Structure formats: structure tokens, C-alpha cells
Structure 1
Amino acid sequence: MSTNPFGVQNPEHVNPEYIARNFVEMQTDFPRLKELGNTFIHGARGTGKSMLLRSLEPRVMILQAKAEKLKDLPFVAVHVPLRTTDFGAPEFNRFKGYAVNAIGEHLLVMHVVLRVAQLLDSFSGEISQISATRFRERFEELFNVAGGSVANDTDTETSHEGSPFRSVAETCEMDIFRVRQFLVRQPFRNADPDYAGALAGFLDFLIPLAREVKRLDGVPNVPLFVMLDDADNLSIPLQRVLNSWVSTRSTGDICLKVTTQLAYATMRTLDNRIIESPHDYAEVNLTAVYTASSDTYSRRLHEIVTKRLRNSDILSSVDEFFPLDTAQEERLHAIAADIVAKHVEINLSSEDQVGSARSRDEARRYTVPTFMREIAGSSKSAHTYSYAGFRSLVDLSSGVVRWFLEPASRMYDRVISEGLGDPGTVTEIPVSIQDAVIKDWSAEFLEPLTRQTTEISDTQTDLSEGIESLHADGHETVLYEQLRNLIEGLGRLFRGKLLDANASEQRVFSVVLRDRPKPELERVLSLGVRLGYLQRSDYAAKEALGGRRPRYILARRLGPHYKLDISGYAAHLSIMSRDLEVAMRNPGDFVKARLRQDGSADSQFSLDLDGDRLEHSDN
């Protein structure tokens, strides 16, 4: 039996062979990440940030035949995951001012050096013992100056046996453990003791050590790429520390590649300066790239799926593996042909090029809404809209690679469990299984918001202080409830527009704010973007010369739950902030008011999402 080709694994835990075998360059800004400079890479969870960073690791690049040895690489990149358990723990909040800055920076430095030492140890066969020993001695010298003591960690004679890099890694591990013990034991002390450990910094420790890395005889004489993954897991004081590193512009020795999940709270340094692009860093927003370049995203996703199918010895093409609902496709083609024919009949000039283009546009805009009204019009209709097919799965993923792989993986497992595949392999995912998995996968996306609204927060952050970090917002029960209401209101409103045959724009999937939102609404919208329920882009407002308004796009993953048309480009609604404030508190009132406002003067609409029907009454 072949293995599941769509299995989603934590990029931190997979080996270089897995990354080299499965990684596909997803976006055109990828070469910028390889340039000598500091770069912030933003993107929602699942957009492939970690996989992107790990593809730059030396072992992966060598496996991809971009070099034969470490010495031949254009740069040396080390991946440093910034886990919540390491840097988002509550003990950091017990310290204020200089203490948290100094101890936090030291802890961050030790994590970086630990990963550097582990990387060099894995290539110790290509580095001479003399060169490696010189590196260890330089580390010990700097560590002692910083207030640490290597001699007290282990027996010196024993520690110098084997790889010098392993000795450095062990020293870093022990020091990280000591610092964490100091922090977690503070609540149990009657008085705060002085911190007596090392205090290593960026300029006086990490930069000199990076220069020593360049001197190693088996390593290219190039800046060290330090790839800090999920930096919004850092507390705000540590984000300021990291920004201070960026502001030094020490890219001749260290280039910082920093990823965030759209929740990086500040761009200020320790001395309150703001780091700015492009002088201090370059910036890439993966979510914006995928949203704006859907054709590019679709092609790259096609490459990923093709590669995974071939790696599992599955010979089906991508479209053969994810077939469409043929009966639905036939009906859609018939509706489209009817729309074009009616448009030609009404517009006598439609035979010219402009008229033909307009006819095709009419078909694109109204074919699926017409079909959805057709199957929603009768409560006896057993047919529901099918979201099966590769193109549909691409749209549902909303630019998040993991959102394609997760449902595909479930579909594959269900085919195996139900014994529907050929012995030893699977050649296609039946439409019925695609639809069943998609329906459950779409609905469960809202479950975390529902769970949060029923839980009592352990720690309530003062909202007036602004957004602290991604993990801190996880305790904001009120924010989650307001976001849940907002999403519900938008989903039901878009469904109502879809079922309104008189609406000029029936395929709506986004709103454009016509005014500046209040802080409360802005916090809810920002949370929605960070958690992937919404995507944000800028829209050039026609009513304001040169003005741009924020546009919030509902994640297409929610389309099946609200029974929306997810295909291709959809229109937007202009809306005022006060309307969304109503939605945050009462989605039902928001939907009724907006449909009444947008509808004809003599019609009202009542939505029954569970029954999937439209009631229409004339006053």
C-alpha cells in the first residue's frame, strides 16, 4: 500500500531528504530571500514559511544538487524556531525594563548559537579539527567575557573529546536550562536574587562568533543567514531586541530572515526607534502574494501535487486524481450557454469582439449563482453543490498550502479505509468522498472560535494596552466571540446576495471599509487576518483621489459551510464600520439590515442556511 502523499508534517521535525523531495518554490519573491540582507517574511499559518526557510538549509541545498559540499554554497543558513514554550512563557512577564531585555536577549543568542553549533557539528567531517577547535576556543573566550563559565559545566578534558562543535552546543543547552530555571523559580523566592549568569548580546557575542564561522576552513566566507521562525511568539520586549539587531545593519556578518504569523506587534527598537524598509530590511507577505497571484499559486500547487503523486508512484494526472462532478459540470455548461444566448439576443452588437467578451463575462458572473438558486429553490431537491475537483480545492485553500494538503490527506485516508482504491494504490478520489470531507473540513474551521467563546480566560489582557502577541490574544474570549459573530454575519450576507436574482453583483466574497474602524473593530479584524478567517488587501477607492481603503476577503475555506460560490474573482461590498460593529454583536440584525438596504424596494429575503432555501415575499 502506498503512503499518503498528502500527509502534513511539522517542517521543524522532517529531515532534509523530505524537504528536498517535496519542496516547490511557491512565489516569485523567493530569490530575494537569498540576497544578503535582513528580510521579514509574513504569512498566515500554513502558508509554507517554515518549509521555505528550511529549503535554504545547507543539507537541503546539497541534496537538491545546488552544491557538492558546504564550502561550495552561496550562503550558510541556520533554522532557529522560536517556540512559544521557549519565549512565550508567562515567567517573562514577571520582569520589566532592562532585566527582561538583557536576560531575554541572552536567551535568544544562546538558542541561535546552539543551532549554529549543531549545524556545524553535522558537517564536522568537512571542517578540520584545528579550525573547529579555534571556533570552540573563541566561543569560550566570548562566553567567559559575557559572564559565563565553561570550565564549571563539564570536565574540561572530557568535553574536549569528540567534536568541538558538540561541546559548544552542550554548553549552550546547559546555559539555556539555567536561565529558564532562574526565571521559573522567581515566584517561589521571598526576595529577587541578582542574576549571576552570562549576558551575551548581538554585537559583543553573536557578531564576533559569526565572523569566526566565516573563518572555518570548510565553510564559505559569506555572511551567516540566521532564520528566526515565528517571531511573533516573542514577547514585545524581545521583539524590540530583535528589531535592534535588524537596525545594526550588520549584514556583512549576519543576515536575519524573520518569519511572522501576521502578529508581530512592533517595529520599534530598544531605544524606541522604528526600523524601516528598505533601509533596514526587505519585506515579503506570502498571503498577499498568493492572493494577488492566484494563477501563479495554482500552477505551483499543481507542481506540488504532481511531485507528491509521483513520489508515491501514483501515475494519475492531478485532474484525474481529483475528478469533477460531471453531471454538475454539464448543467453549468448548459446554464452558461443559455446566459450567453440571452445576452446575444438582447445585445444585437454582441457579434463584435467587445460584445463577445461581455457575454463571456456575464456567464462567469451568473452561471454558478443561477445553478445554486436552482438547487436551493426546492426543499425536495436532493442535489447539493459539489466543490470537488482540483481547481475547486485550489480556490478553497485561499493561498494556504496546508489548506490544500490537509483535506486531500483526509480524502486519501478515507478511500483507503473504505476499500475504494485499487489494491496497493489509489488512482482517484471519488467525488462523493471529496464533497464529504470538504463539508466537514469547512464547518470545523469555525469550531475554535466557538470553543473560545465558551471558555473562561485564565488571564485577561487589558485591551487598552493594544495587541501583545499572538499567544496573548489566544486568551481574549471577547475578541473570539466578536470575530465569530462577524464571520457569521458576512457568510450569511454573502449567501443572501448569491440567492438574490435581482442583485447586480451576486458573487460577493469581500467588503471594503469606507471609513476608519474604531480600535475595537480593528482588533477583531486583525485577529481574523492572523487566524486566517480573513485576508486583507488594499483597494483603490473611486470616491477619493489616490485614496486606498482596506479590503477584507472571507477565507474561501468557509465557502462550503455558507454555500457560496468560491470560483474565480468575486465582487466586494462597500460598507461602513458601524455596520460591521453591528455584525460583531448581532449577525442576524446585520444581515437583515444590509439585505434590506441592498434589495429592491418591494422585496425582502429570509435565509434558512440549514434548509438551504430562499423565501421571497412581495410587500
Structure 2
Amino acid sequence: MKKMKSPFEYSSPEAMTASDVIELFVPVFGEYHNIPNIGHTFINGPRGSGKSMIFRYMSPDCQLLLNKSSIENLEYFGIHIPIKEGQLDKTDLKLLKGNKGELLLNEHFMIVNFAIKIFEVLAKVDFKNSEKNLNSLRNFYNNEFKELLYTKEDLLDDKSENDIKACKEYFLKMKKACSKVNSLFSNEFIPKLYLSDSESIKYEGPIYSFHSFLLELLRSIKQLPFMPNGPIYLLIDDADNLSEVQTKILNTWVSSRTSKTLSFKISTQLRYKTYRTINGSRIDTPHDYAEINLSDIYTTSKGQYKDRVREAVERRLKKFGLKEVSADDFFPDDVDQEKNIEKLFAKYKEQYGYDYAYRYARPDFMKRLKGNLNTYSYAGFNSLVHISSGVMRHFIDFAHKMFTHQYSKYESEVLFIDPEIQNTEIKNYSIWYFQENFTKLLDDRENTDDELNEIIKLRNLLEALGQTFNLILFSDATERRVFSFALQDEPNDELRRVLKLGVETGYLHKSFIGNKMGTGKAQLFVLNRLLAPYFKLDPTSFAGYKFVTSQVLMEAIYKPTTVIGRIKTKGVDSVMGNPQQSLFKDEDYGYN
């Protein structure tokens, strides 16, 4: 039998064909339909939440296929510009710090690299090679482009324009010219800074600015007869990888009112360095830009995220020949377990009512396993959706591992994943996420003592929270299904940095709720449900949260075992005389 390929094998959006993107991407969630609107937009979300896939979907080849239209009839023209780590935020550029031209030279470097990518994307688009189009490009090249590129260096290709028979060749010609400008800066000027005082080395090449070069370049491109009437969107992916000064430069561009010609769509992994411009002012929503937080989708609209995952799974199954298999059938529940929980639910409902049954049936079933918690199964599509915690990449990753395990065990066509295999793989994935992924974080950070310490403190905090939530689940507390905590007071700078790191890395999701006094909002932090199997928690509940003091969280980041020991000794609902000394205040508010 021919080996069966996994429907859940991950492929980078950049490497996917337009037809694959259209077949597999599900643009049905939350605020997605606001992203293509005219205007600058920040799209924030942890790694794997779908930002790059959104930008790939917005690229011209996908939009042409989706709309069955010609290029000039598209509503916008998206140009994907990934900011890879170390690509623009080069260590070499730090030599410019303190140099009078630091801002100008960083902006020039960004603009030239953006221009190279713009022409690269344009060269890949299948424009018609008609005489009209070629003439318009010839005029654009000889007039607008050469004038904008102004330089003393011979940077232009000498190839006779009579030999050019395709639009692609003009765009590659212009890309080559920009690459030569970039070489003047990156390969000739920057290396000299190593050999001498940066103040004594002068850059003698052309210097481009946003308004005089990039904006004018895009305005001229937009006027070409084969381009859409709508705006050009620069889809800047992973902008966290820009340096702080480059981030300020980008923010300055965002503050310009260019939306009808050019809109910036900027994705971040929640590590965007600043929202200040180069003159110190701050860009703000909604005046300067719109903001979309993809991680909010799961906690504010769980049903919508579940529908998105279901459709994504079923599209993948269909593509691989399993047209009649639903996501629920492909990832079945542990039937015996769910029957027992349903029986307990029915019993509680009859005795105490629906609300009591909803609150206690599953926790009591888990509690009755009498310490043999490994027998609780996390199998089933609904459970796996919750465990993926709003990040589609996680679901795809562990689904691929389950598929591979199922196929290797039975070596036959995979029509569903055994609940036992689902349970084994999701528990392994949860262990990896808490243990090995933290090791990777320690290896990948910039290796300053502060950053390394913050990672260790975050791990300690999560350990304390996970074990606390486990103790609550198996206690006699009124609300046992707790996955979140709210700050009773303002955190100090140290705790704030640790919590921020938790959000940036995806281990925590930040939201807000009404404070205890009813006078404002308190910060709420939700534990990533990928940790549910690791800490033996119920991932399906959003019901409870606890107020906690910053003092206790500070203790947890240094001495998690001490905090857990105190809970075990005094009970999870204990309240000491001084409220500041208590671990969790006994608040049982609903969280939806």
C-alpha cells in the first residue's frame, strides 16, 4: 500500500501555492474581514495564530484566484514583506548609535530593502505583456524610477530596452538597481565602521526617505495601467524583529495620512518594541491605526474559533480524499469516559439542577479516578480545540503527530484517530510545551542575565499556577474549574516584565474584567490550555477565575514550592487575617 500523506503536515505559507492557500485557509474568524479594509492595521497574536497565512491569503495570486478577476479589478494590491530576525535589525547597524545620521541611515536601509522586496513581488505577478503595458513600464523606468533613484553611481542595467519583452524583466531590472544601492550601504559603508570611529566615516551614496522615495515610488506604480484602482497594502510580517529605532521610523510612516494610496498591515508576535514615532509622539488607535488581537478570538468567542478549526480540519481531510469525514468523527471522544460523565451529569441535573451538573459533573468524574489521573482521556475534537487555546498551528502540529502515530501503528488508511492515540500524543505535546519549549526559549533569548532570569521566573509562576488550579479542581471549592487569575493590585516592574513575557510567548493570554470595587478594570491572565494535560486540568471550562495579590505572585516566581506547600497545608480557600497574606481571594465570578 502506498504511504498515506498526513493532511496536517505543516507548510510555510510562503511556500504554499495560491490554490492550496485558497483550499485550506478559513477566513471566518472574528475581525479578519476588517483587515483588508483601507487603513493602517496592526495584527497581533502569538506565533502560530495565523498572521502569515492571512498575509499570504491577501497576496495578489490568491486574490486573483479567489475573486476570479483580473489584476486591475482587485480591491487592493498586497505586497508581503516578511521581517526575518536579523534581516533589517542587523548587529552592524548598532554601530550607528550616536551617529548624527542614525535615523536617516536606518530609514534609508529600510526603504531600500522594502523596495527590493516590492519589485521582487511585482516580478512574480503574471501581468499581461501587452505593448501598452510594456510602454507604460518603459516610461515609468526612464522617467519616475530613474529620477527617484538619483545617484552618482552607475547602478542601471545597460541591457537594451528593445530586448525587454516582459513586464517581469523591467521589475527585475529595477530590483537589481535597488540591490546595488543596498550594496553601497551594507557592503561598503557599514564594514568601514568597524575599522574607524563612526563619526569620521561618511556615507556618500544616495539617501532615500519615506515621502520622497518610497511613497512616490508606490504612487507611480499604482498609476500603471495594469494596477488596481485600490490602494497598495504593504503586509509587514513579524515587525517585532525591527530594532527600536526602526520601529519608531515605521510608526512615523504609519502616522502619515497615506491610506488611500498606501496602507500598512503590520503583524506582531506581541513583542512590538514601541508605539512612539521618531519625534517622541505616540501613534494611537483609532486615529492612526486599527488593532486586531487574534488571541482574543478564543477567549471572547469560543464557538467561532471552534467552527474555524472544524472547517480547517474538514478542508484538509477533503483535500486528501476523506470528503465525508467530519472533524468530530475523525477525532472521536473516549466513548466510555463521556458516557460516565453524561450519567453523572444526568444524576446531578435531576438532584440539583442544570447549573450544578454543568459545574461539577466533569470535575467530580476526574476526582473519582482516585489519583490515577493518567486514565482521564483528553481525546475528542471538542477537547482538542480547547487545548489548542486559540492557536491553529498548535492544533495542526499535534494533529499531524496523531496522524503519523495512527498510520505507523496500523499501516492502513486513516479514517479516524484512536482516542488512546489522541490522548497519548496530546499529553506528550503538553509535556513538550512546558519542558522542552522552555529550554528552547532559554537557548534562543539574547542571553542577557535579565532575560534568562525572566524566563525562569515565568516557568516558576506557571508551575505555581498550574499546581494551584489542579488543587482547586480536586477540592470542595464552590468553583473548581479555574484557569485564570485577576490582579488585585498593580504589579511592580519586575512582575510586569514576567507577565509580559508570558503573554509574548503565548503561555498567558491577557484580558480585562471589572475590579472588585466596581470602579474600573482589573488585568486578567488566562493560562494557555495546552498546559491542561501537563497539570491534569479540565481544558473545557471558562467558568472561574481568582483574584490574587501581586505579593503572592512575586513569591511564586521565586519560590513556587513554598506557595504550593502553603495551599496544601491551609487549603485553597483559606483567608488569612491580613488580605495581603492570603493566596487567592475566594471570588466565584463567571468568566465568559
**Structure 1: how far apart are the matches of 2:290 and 2:349?**
47
CA apart distance, 1:158: 8.0
**Structure 1: how far apart are the matches of 2:303 and 2:425?**
25
Match of 2:433 in 1: 445
**Structure 1: how far apart are the matches of 2:152 and 2:360?**
70
Match of 1:342 in 2: 351
**Structure 2: how far apart are the matches of 1:446 and 1:303?**
29
CA apart distance, 1:58: 1.2
CA apart distance, 1:252: 2.1
Match of 1:413 in 2: 404
Answering whether residue 146 of structure 2 is matched by residue 141 of structure 1, we say yes
CA apart distance, 1:541: 1.7
What SS does the aligned partner of 1:572 have?
A: strand
Match of 1:561 in 2: 534
**Structure 2: how far apart are the matches of 1:601 and 1:273?**
46
What SS does the aligned partner of 1:368 have?
A: helix
Superimposed CA distance per residue, residues 461-513 of structure 1 (whole angstroms, 9 cap, x where no aligned partner): 7x6xxxxxxxxxxxx1101100110111100100111111x211111101000
Match of 1:504 in 2: 478
Answering whether residue 339 of structure 2 is matched by residue 330 of structure 1, we say yes
Match of 2:579 in 1: none
Answering whether residue 52 of structure 2 is matched by residue 46 of structure 1, we say no
CA apart distance, 1:401: 0.6
Answering whether residue 360 of structure 2 is matched by residue 371 of structure 1, we say no
**Structure 2: how far apart are the matches of 1:58 and 1:292?**
32
Identity in percent: 31
CA apart distance, 1:568: 3.0
Match of 1:530 in 2: 504
1:2/1:175 CA distance change after superposition, 3 Å? farther
**Structure 2: how far apart are the matches of 1:455 and 1:23?**
32
Tell me the amino acid that sits aligned with residue 329 of structure 1. E
Tell me the amino acid that sits aligned with residue 365 of structure 1. R
Alignment of 1:45-64 (within 5 A): 45-64=47-66
CA contact (8 A) 2:236 2:264 kept: yes
Answering whether residue 389 of structure 2 is matched by residue 398 of structure 1, we say yes
Alpha-carbon RMSD: 2.3
Alignment of 1:226-265 (within 5 A): 226-265=234-273
Alignment of 1:282-301 (within 5 A): 282-301=290-309
CA contact (8 A) 1:142 1:205 kept: no
1:453/1:24 CA distance change after superposition, 3 Å? closer
> Please, which moves more after superposition, 435-444 or 16-25?
16-25
Q: How many residues align?
A: 563
Give the one of 476, 487, 490 matched to 1:516: 490
Tell me the amino acid that sits aligned with residue 113 of structure 1. A
CA apart distance, 1:382: 8.2
1:453/1:285 CA distance change after superposition, 3 Å? closer
Match of 2:421 in 1: 433
1:317/1:201 CA distance change after superposition, 3 Å? same
Tell me the amino acid that sits aligned with residue 130 of structure 1. N
1:390/1:582 CA distance change after superposition, 3 Å? same
Tell me the amino acid that sits aligned with residue 431 of structure 2. A
CA contact (8 A) 2:112 2:178 kept: yes
Alignment of 1:341-360 (within 5 A): 341-343=350-352, 359-360=353-354
CA contact (8 A) 2:75 2:229 kept: no
What SS does the aligned partner of 1:598 have?
A: coil
Which consecutive residues of structure 1, in runs of 5 or more, have no partner in the other structure?
344-358, 464-475, 603-619
Answering whether residue 158 of structure 2 is matched by residue 155 of structure 1, we say yes
**Structure 2: how far apart are the matches of 1:509 and 1:544?**
22
Answering whether residue 462 of structure 2 is matched by residue 487 of structure 1, we say yes
What SS does the aligned partner of 1:102 have?
A: helix
Match of 2:312 in 1: 304
| TM-score normalised by length of structure 1 | 0.86
Superimposed CA distance per residue, residues 253-290 of structure 1 (whole angstroms, 9 cap, x where no aligned partner): 11111111111121110011111111111111111123
**Structure 2: how far apart are the matches of 1:39 and 1:31?**
12
**Structure 1: how far apart are the matches of 2:27 and 2:145?**
40
Answering whether residue 565 of structure 2 is matched by residue 592 of structure 1, we say yes
Tell me the amino acid that sits aligned with residue 431 of structure 1. P
CA contact (8 A) 1:78 1:116 kept: yes
> Please, which moves more after superposition, 93-102 or 228-237?
93-102
1:38/1:450 CA distance change after superposition, 3 Å? closer
Which consecutive residues of structure 2, in runs of 5 or more, have no partner in the other structure?
577-592
CA apart distance, 1:383: 5.6
What SS does the aligned partner of 1:263 have?
A: coil
CA contact (8 A) 1:39 1:257 kept: yes
**Structure 1: how far apart are the matches of 2:253 and 2:407?**
51
Answering whether residue 365 of structure 2 is matched by residue 386 of structure 1, we say no
CA apart distance, 1:11: 1.6
1:597/1:114 CA distance change after superposition, 3 Å? same
Answering whether residue 87 of structure 2 is matched by residue 79 of structure 1, we say no
CA apart distance, 1:121: 2.0
